[in-house]
Amino acid sequence: MDKKELIRRAIKAKKKAYVPYSGFHVGAAILTEDDKIYDGCNIEIASYSPTICAERTAIFKAVSEGHEKIKAIAIVGDADHTYPCGVCRQVIREFGKDTRIIIANSEEDYREYDLEELLPHSFGPEDLQSASKEEKDV
Protein backbone atom coordinates (compact mmCIF):
# COMPACT_ATOMS: atom_id res chain seq x y z
CA MET A 1 0.00 0.00 0.00
CA ASP A 2 1.32 3.45 -0.95
CA LYS A 3 0.63 5.36 2.27
CA LYS A 4 2.34 8.50 1.07
CA GLU A 5 0.13 8.65 -2.03
CA LEU A 6 -2.97 8.24 0.15
CA ILE A 7 -1.78 11.06 2.42
CA ARG A 8 -0.98 13.25 -0.59
CA ARG A 9 -4.54 12.76 -1.87
CA ALA A 10 -5.99 13.64 1.54
CA ILE A 11 -3.87 16.81 1.67
CA LYS A 12 -5.06 17.75 -1.83
CA ALA A 13 -8.72 17.10 -0.90
CA LYS A 14 -8.36 19.22 2.26
CA LYS A 15 -7.78 22.26 0.04
CA LYS A 16 -11.33 21.87 -1.28
CA ALA A 17 -12.94 21.93 2.19
CA TYR A 18 -16.04 24.13 2.21
CA VAL A 19 -15.92 25.45 5.77
CA PRO A 20 -17.42 28.95 5.98
CA TYR A 21 -18.61 28.41 9.58
CA SER A 22 -15.86 26.56 11.45
CA GLY A 23 -12.91 27.45 9.25
CA PHE A 24 -11.62 23.93 10.09
CA HIS A 25 -10.37 22.10 6.99
CA VAL A 26 -10.28 18.31 6.71
CA GLY A 27 -9.36 16.03 3.83
CA ALA A 28 -9.61 12.25 3.60
CA ALA A 29 -8.59 9.62 1.07
CA ILE A 30 -9.62 5.99 1.08
CA LEU A 31 -8.09 2.95 -0.56
CA THR A 32 -10.60 0.43 -1.89
CA GLU A 33 -10.22 -3.34 -2.10
CA ASP A 34 -9.01 -3.04 -5.69
CA ASP A 35 -6.53 -0.25 -4.90
CA LYS A 36 -8.59 2.69 -6.17
CA ILE A 37 -8.37 5.94 -4.25
CA TYR A 38 -11.36 8.18 -3.51
CA ASP A 39 -10.94 11.44 -1.66
CA GLY A 40 -13.21 13.99 -0.06
CA CYS A 41 -13.39 17.09 2.10
CA ASN A 42 -15.73 18.36 4.79
CA ILE A 43 -18.69 20.41 3.60
CA GLU A 44 -20.57 22.72 5.97
CA ILE A 45 -24.15 23.89 5.59
CA ALA A 46 -25.66 27.10 7.02
CA SER A 47 -28.26 25.16 9.01
CA TYR A 48 -25.30 23.18 10.47
CA SER A 49 -26.72 19.68 10.94
CA PRO A 50 -26.45 18.59 7.27
CA THR A 51 -22.68 19.22 7.50
CA ILE A 52 -20.64 16.22 6.43
CA CYS A 53 -17.14 15.20 7.46
CA ALA A 54 -14.34 14.61 4.96
CA GLU A 55 -14.19 10.91 5.78
CA ARG A 56 -17.84 10.35 4.95
CA THR A 57 -17.63 12.39 1.75
CA ALA A 58 -14.80 10.14 0.54
CA ILE A 59 -16.46 6.91 1.68
CA PHE A 60 -19.84 7.76 0.15
CA LYS A 61 -18.20 8.66 -3.13
CA ALA A 62 -16.54 5.24 -3.23
CA VAL A 63 -19.61 3.29 -2.17
CA SER A 64 -21.76 5.08 -4.72
CA GLU A 65 -19.28 3.91 -7.36
CA GLY A 66 -19.68 0.29 -6.23
CA HIS A 67 -16.81 -0.13 -3.72
CA GLU A 68 -17.91 -1.67 -0.43
CA LYS A 69 -14.57 -2.51 1.15
CA ILE A 70 -12.10 0.01 2.57
CA LYS A 71 -8.52 -1.15 3.08
CA ALA A 72 -7.19 2.13 4.44
CA ILE A 73 -8.11 5.74 5.05
CA ALA A 74 -5.83 8.75 5.46
CA ILE A 75 -7.12 11.80 7.31
CA VAL A 76 -5.55 15.25 7.39
CA GLY A 77 -7.04 18.21 9.23
CA ASP A 78 -6.17 21.57 10.73
CA ALA A 79 -5.56 20.08 14.20
CA ASP A 80 -2.23 18.52 15.14
CA HIS A 81 -3.25 14.98 14.09
CA THR A 82 -6.98 15.15 13.35
CA TYR A 83 -8.74 11.98 14.50
CA PRO A 84 -12.05 10.85 12.98
CA CYS A 85 -15.23 11.70 14.88
CA GLY A 86 -17.34 8.93 16.38
CA VAL A 87 -19.87 8.94 13.56
CA CYS A 88 -17.14 8.53 10.94
CA ARG A 89 -15.53 5.69 12.92
CA GLN A 90 -18.86 3.85 12.74
CA VAL A 91 -19.16 4.54 8.99
CA ILE A 92 -15.61 3.23 8.42
CA ARG A 93 -16.61 0.13 10.44
CA GLU A 94 -19.49 -0.55 8.05
CA PHE A 95 -17.10 -0.95 5.12
CA GLY A 96 -14.07 -2.50 6.81
CA LYS A 97 -13.52 -4.16 10.16
CA ASP A 98 -9.76 -4.29 9.48
CA THR A 99 -9.34 -0.84 7.96
CA ARG A 100 -5.99 0.85 8.60
CA ILE A 101 -6.50 4.42 9.76
CA ILE A 102 -3.71 6.86 8.99
CA ILE A 103 -3.82 10.14 10.88
CA ALA A 104 -1.42 12.46 9.13
CA ASN A 105 0.04 15.90 9.52
CA SER A 106 2.21 15.37 6.44
CA GLU A 107 3.68 12.59 4.30
CA GLU A 108 6.45 12.19 6.88
CA ASP A 109 4.50 12.76 10.10
CA TYR A 110 1.68 10.27 10.55
CA ARG A 111 0.27 7.74 13.02
CA GLU A 112 -1.36 4.43 12.11
CA TYR A 113 -4.11 2.49 13.84
CA ASP A 114 -6.38 -0.48 13.25
CA LEU A 115 -10.06 0.36 13.41
CA GLU A 116 -10.33 -1.91 16.49
CA GLU A 117 -8.05 0.50 18.38
CA LEU A 118 -10.22 3.52 17.63
CA LEU A 119 -13.58 1.75 17.85
CA PRO A 120 -13.23 -1.23 20.19
CA HIS A 121 -16.03 -3.77 20.68
CA SER A 122 -17.85 -2.32 17.70
CA PHE A 123 -21.27 -3.13 16.34
CA GLY A 124 -21.43 -3.92 12.63
CA PRO A 125 -23.29 -5.59 9.78
CA GLU A 126 -22.37 -9.12 10.94
CA ASP A 127 -24.24 -8.55 14.22
CA LEU A 128 -27.50 -7.90 12.39
CA GLN A 129 -26.93 -10.99 10.25
CA SER A 130 -26.35 -13.25 13.27
CA ALA A 131 -29.49 -11.85 14.98
CA SER A 132 -31.74 -12.64 12.03
CA LYS A 133 -30.18 -16.14 11.76
CA GLU A 134 -30.99 -16.86 15.42
CA GLU A 135 -34.54 -15.71 14.86
CA LYS A 136 -34.87 -18.19 11.98
CA ASP A 137 -33.50 -20.98 14.19
CA VAL A 138 -36.28 -20.50 16.80
- State the minimum distance, in angstroms, from the CB of residue 117 to ligand THU: 16
Find the part of the chain contacting ligand THU (CB under 6 A) among 3-11, 46-54, 95-103, 125-133: 46-54
Member of 19, 90, 107, 122 binding ligand THU (CB under 6 A): 19
> What gap in Å lies between CA 44 and CA 19, rounded to an integer?
5
Catalytic residue among 33, 55, 134, 135: 55
Give the whole-angstrom CA distance, residue 83 versus residue 55.
10
Q: Reply yes or no on whether 135 is catalytic.
A: no
For residue 123, state whether it binds ligand THU (rule: CB under 6 A): no
Q: Does position 106 bind ligand THU by CB under 6 A? A: no
Tally of CA atoms within 13 A in the half-sphere of 39 that contains its CB: 21
Short-list 44, 55, 53, 56, CA closest to 19: 44
Three-class SS state of 1: coil
Stretch of residues binding ligand THU (CB under 6 A), selected from 7-15, 81-89, 98-106, 115-123: 81-89
- Alpha carbon 31 to its chain's center: 10
Q: Which stretch binds ligand THU (CB under 6 A): 48-56, 61-69, 94-102, 103-111?
A: 48-56
CA angle 86, 89, 90 (to 5 degrees): 90
Supply the residues annotated as catalytic: 55
Please report, as ranges, the residues that interact with ligand THU according to CB under 6 A: 19, 22, 24, 26, 42, 44, 51, 53-55, 84-85, 88
